[in-house]
Amino acid sequence: MYVLACRLINLVLHSLTSAALLSVSASATARRRRTFTTFIRLSFATLALVGPLAAIAVTGLDSVDSPKRGAGFVLLVSLQRQSMS
Count of structural domains within the chain? 1
Mean of pLDDT values over 2-21? 66
pLDDT in tens, 19-73: 555 555 667 777 888 888 888 888 888 888 888 888 877 776 655 555 667 777 8
Among 2, 70, 72, 73, CA closest to 41: 2
29 — phi, psi (to 5°)?
-65, -45
82/15: higher pLDDT? 82
Domain housing 69: 2-84
